Chains A and B, each alone.
Chain A
């Protein structure tokens, strides 16, 4: 989008009809009718369909009287843009701001319509990988419930009216230096926004600029500030760490820099043969995280006890000869465990790493930084830096802002991002305070909880619709829009421009102005184009920060580290970011609501997670309701038992109970009433009681395995060693062929001449269970790439989830402290596919390249193929799930993949559309396909490169080499279906001191 067009939009005011110009009540009513809130209920397909069928019938009747033709005019290109070839996608680099982080993206665009988000391969942060949040932004862009109108006290207004009022408002503050003026944003690292905020500070010195996020690195920053003199954040290099201790840190998923962390961790985890070495991961946590599932040794400790544990760790380090002043604490932790961990850390000085989670209070981070410093890890496995473009979240300033709002000191509040009425701790009563402010304005993607209390609501532009910039550890980058704002939204930068009075400047111009400062005015256009093209530049906006040992040591105060364990009477509640909704910003995203939590496998709800013991104490089972109470505040949540959580801890997810559109409405419970500004991440002293009633949960994988029905759990434990082959590093060295030896028999003799797959391209895949963390990025990437429908809670409950690649999660070992493994399962493309023989109409057949193909047009839906699939990866369209897809979501569909009709079976195709594109390109270039030309969507997303796809006929391809490894095995290979996907057996690397000491935890059972 050029600057001219943006400008013209702002210069002129368009009206849609004369009525609009007159702003008659009839017109307003019409506008509101056109965009009703929650018009249909996606969670109940039957009623929705019924409604639409009635609509369809009435349309058909209408057609009897007057022939209906599309009235919209479509116009071909008169002068075709040079770069656009219909049907050929283009890829643009851009960046996704994500709190104080950012992700470098490569976005696929079809004729000007972005359809798929990938990581930018050259970007130092994402490195081509992605996480679920990046993938899901595609649907957030096309959210049909996005805010579409500028609202003044809930009624439609115009941008021109707003800027006029805003100008007036700002004039009032011009004289008093901005007293009573406040700006509230989300935390960010944006050179432009930072520059504007500074300019704002200069113009209104008495005004306040507050930034808040309910999920943030605030505690880490505070802890490091205490240890260094600077406001710093850590950057980890897990690839260099041989021994890692995680203290309540889900560094591979929910912490900042998850992609780099996962990549680094996986590189230390990956083994090619029994001669390789592998890192060792200790996890101490109260919840059960994905990182915990990767642990070699996991110790469950209540979140509130982590600080004490850290002190005990320091104490043990001191006891084993390290010069550290450990705070005195009373501990009851497993001494042997602690001793062994400390010995391991000391033996790997400079190659070890201790990380603490953002949930933990600042003093934990201070002590961890000190320990890392003394273990000589800083500079190798951990670095600290300060970003000059960052304004991090600060709860403290939000509290004082709210107080000022309540006392009437704040006259004007402009909210540039975030949803404080929902996200702020409940004791702040932000919404109430908001109403005390004379003038409030907000820019937001949705008409959210805050919008209901502000005077002016401005629709926000999605980052794929606006100009912006980011700055991170790998360098700074530019956000370029992929599409003009769908609903005339404004970006935070543009709103900040209004605050500074330069509302005739477009976002593009403001970003350029900033970058003139960064890139230099010389030859700017060329450099600018380079940065926009690449998506980022390695000009670092960060400054390295060193830990000051003595300062850190001095700030360690023993009283911070003592804690009382939670008890059945006074339970601990941990507030975690939702795996799928995060802090609620993905609440109206159907992909995310339907994405099973990888550990609990729960979709479309938040639950009260607790251990088996805790559930027994409370005498509750899954789906029973419990009341969690402290003082006057209480919430009622359904129980979900998760083995391996610390006892007397209840884990609840933020981000639910929202009402911002058809997807989010009625999903889950808002847990914020329990969350106070004094303890926003976890708190103690709750009473939890059984409440009457229950709430059904849509769970995609029954929890059999450890509890419940003994028959089933015994059978699962029996067959688990065959399904997920696992060993320890030691045993692997002793028996390198363990993975093959378990169940496969010798070569079977065939009764007929089998098809020869020795010619041409033969596609295959390997999935390394050793590096798969269960992050689920593959599932959402696949959903986005392959137009997989969202089916709603009721249909998930009916057991009809549609994901083509699912993550099987199994527990093993002790029910109180189980190990967890993940196994991604998609179509295995069997050479002797059991599905193919049984289809009566030959709708699923084998290609000469070894693909198991589905001819949707031929499929009549007998479902026999699915019955006969031993992996149960086939997915059936029980209803026409895509029928009432809002038009705007249709824009997110991949035009290279058909949208399936009801009654048709579908499944993973190995991204056959990508295979064919690559083949055509290779043919056009008159060359052979080379390894890596084709990446499937799941492979591309995978942050740990656990999934590798390629030609198994090419002995030099990565996939062939992986298949030649001795850890490679075929899932259910004993059925002789000869799957093309194979798995790399999982390894754990337990500390011999702990295994021999009789500690089963973490050891291979």
Chain B
């Protein structure tokens, strides 16, 4: 029997039935009330705030398109790049967005495999966030090259010149890693969406019903369908899991395989992955807190969920902090004066301000989550999550720019200052992200209905036996 057809009224005794287990959904929700709640968001009239936010996001998107247009017309010179610093904000933004794109798949795949049921409250929009963040990220390597119109040379397309891309180049690995990650994440997200799309379809009429029906792929909620579905989902989770670790590891090799002091370090892959999870959770937190407030989802995304996320932020933040300190130790321990200077220069050189912003935001801020009270305070966690986002952007800035600006030969040292176009492109990428994200909130169920329902006591087949009698 499909869960869609479960009886609407919640059994009063059900709550007690799972006593001992923590309830993941509060507020006495039933299957039906959950369906109403979540489907209602996309079915009811769009709130005023949405239009306001969407207008802002589209404006940002226009800024992005304008900046890219000018970039293609004029050349990369419109950015603040110079000779030692060949990579600036574009690459910083790329790594930043890829990092953000980590939380979604981590939440949906790894936590799924680890049977962390609390993930169900946030996994849908964390995955959506992942996809949109990866789209933002993928854009940057495309536009940052000098001859955008030839960027396709990077793909292994058979051609009359009989030239393949250079498989030794980490940039090429990058493309494969990120594109694969994007593909698998999108598939995973879509597969997760199917039952919910069917729910929406069943509640809709006319054209809307047809369109939703098309994307719901004929889902009826049959037992067999569920069986296949669960298997497919598990397999995709298994596939996505290594990708979560690999994609940022590969991004890290962009830096780690070079010989520039400050880039050339073996700690980069794990350190980048930890940082990516850290920043991803920071972003999910920011978005979740806003969406929860606007759409009144306090019952589904509960304080317990948020606290768990804060714990992850604390752990990954500390891992990142450990990496920062370890980098310094190794730089000193290696006895390599170039390496040593690269790190001293980060902390005390002309970019010290950026380094200390990074350090404060990423290492100090999460430490407040040692305290339960702060871990459960909405305003505190909101501010902290913003700090995490800022700090992680600066981490990429510090790594990319400080290392390049002062490498081996002092004659070539130069200071990098971004231009207005660097900034507008970055701001514009948020426009792109939020345009997608708001459209997602408007048209798709932002909570994984089917999965959340699965965490309700009623979903437990033995629920009705627990009190010793059938009702």
Contacts and interface: CB of A to CB of B under 8 A. Distances in A.
A337 interface: no
B258 to A, nearest CB: 5
Interface string A838-870: 111110000000000000001111111011101
A842 B166 contact: yes
A902 B406 contact: no
A860 B259 contact: no
| A interface, size bucket | 35 or more
A972 interface: yes
Contact of B168 (A702, A806, A837): A837
A395 B304 CA distance: 92
Contacts of A711: 344-345, 348-349
A868 B411 CA distance: 16
A705 B410 contact: yes
Given A860-B146, A879-B75, A866 B169 contact: no
B145 to A, nearest CB: 5
A85 interface: no
A877 B407 contact: no
A46 B168 CA distance: 37
B132 to A, nearest CB: 25
A859 B85 CA distance: 18
A51 interface: no
Contact of B154 (A704, A716, A840, A880): A840
Interface string A712-728: 10011011000100000
A842 B164 contact: yes
Contacts of A823: 411
Contacts of B75: 877-880, 902-903
B1 interface: no
A792 to B, nearest CB: 11
Nearest to A878: B77
Interface string B337-375: 110010011001110000000000000000000000000
Nearest to B170: A838
A838 B258 contact: yes
B73 A858 contact: no
Nearest to B344: A711
Nearest to A972: B408
A303 to B, nearest CB: 29
A403 to B, nearest CB: 51
Determine which residue in B76, B169, B338, B410 has the highest number of CB atoms from chain A within 10 A of its CB, and name it. Answer: B410
Given A859-B146, A972-B408, A841 B81 contact: no
A311 B166 CA distance: 69
A795 B78 CA distance: 11
A867 B260 CA distance: 8
Contacts of B169: 837-840, 864
A903 B151 CA distance: 11
Contact of B77 (A838, A841, A879): A879
B259 A975 contact: yes
Contacts of A290: none
B64 interface: no
A949 B18 CA distance: 84
A113 B209 CA distance: 75
A870 B408 CA distance: 6
Given A719-B338, A862-B171, A864-B86, A53 B73 contact: yes
Interface string B66-93: 0000000111111011111111000000
B410 A838 contact: no
Contacts of B299: none
A701 B406 CA distance: 12
Interface string A142-182: 00000000000000000000000000000000000000000
B331 interface: no
Contact of B81 (A825, A858, A878, A880): A878
B412 to A, nearest CB: 4
B226 to A, nearest CB: 44
Contacts of B344: 711, 715
B166 A879 contact: no
| B interface, size bucket | 35 or more
A782 B154 CA distance: 32
Interface string B245-277: 000000000100111100000000000000000
Contacts of B74: 46, 49, 879
B413 interface: yes
B271 to A, nearest CB: 20
Contacts of A705: 410
A25 B351 CA distance: 62
A709 interface: yes
B11 interface: no
A861 B147 CA distance: 6
Contacts of A870: 259-260, 407-409
A972 to B, nearest CB: 6
A870 B410 CA distance: 11
A800 B411 contact: no
A569 B86 CA distance: 47
Nearest to A871: B409
Nearest to A717: B410
B207 interface: no
Contacts of B73: 53
A860 B409 contact: no
B165 interface: yes
Contact of A860 (B81, B154, B349): B154
Given A839-B166, A878-B81, A860 B153 contact: yes
A769 to B, nearest CB: 14
Given A712-B410, A716-B410, A866 B350 contact: no
Interface string A34-59: 00000000000110010001000000
B451 interface: no
A823 B164 CA distance: 38
Contact of A863 (B86, B151, B338): B86
B350 A709 contact: yes
A901 B146 CA distance: 10
A686 interface: no
A718 B76 CA distance: 35
Interface in A667-712: 701-702, 704-705, 709, 711-712
Nearest to B84: A872
Given A712-B413, A840-B169, A904 B147 contact: yes
A813 interface: no
B345 A715 contact: yes
Nearest to B404: A867
Given A861-B76, A878-B77, A866 B147 contact: no
B233 to A, nearest CB: 35
B52 interface: no
Determine which residue in A45, A800, A838 has the highest number of CB atoms from chain B within 10 A of its CB, and name it. Answer: A838
A348 to B, nearest CB: 36
B145 A860 contact: yes
A834 B170 CA distance: 12
A406 interface: no
Interface in B373-427: 404, 406-415
Nearest to A710: B348
B179 interface: no
Contact of A702 (B147, B151, B348, B413): B413
A422 interface: no
A497 to B, nearest CB: 51
A729 B258 CA distance: 39
Contacts of B86: 863-864, 866-867, 876
A860 B150 contact: yes
Given A709-B350, A838-B169, A860 B411 contact: no
A877 B404 contact: no
A810 interface: yes
Given A702-B415, A863-B76, 20 more contacts: A704-B410, A705-B410, A719-B341, A837-B169, A838-B257, A838-B258, A840-B154, A840-B169, A858-B153, A859-B146, A860-B146, A860-B154, A864-B86, A867-B86, A868-B259, A872-B407, A876-B146, A877-B146, A879-B74, A904-B146
The 8 A-B pairs of least Cβ separation, nearest first, read A861-B146, A903-B146, A799-B82, A878-B77, A863-B86, A808-B411, A872-B412, A903-B147
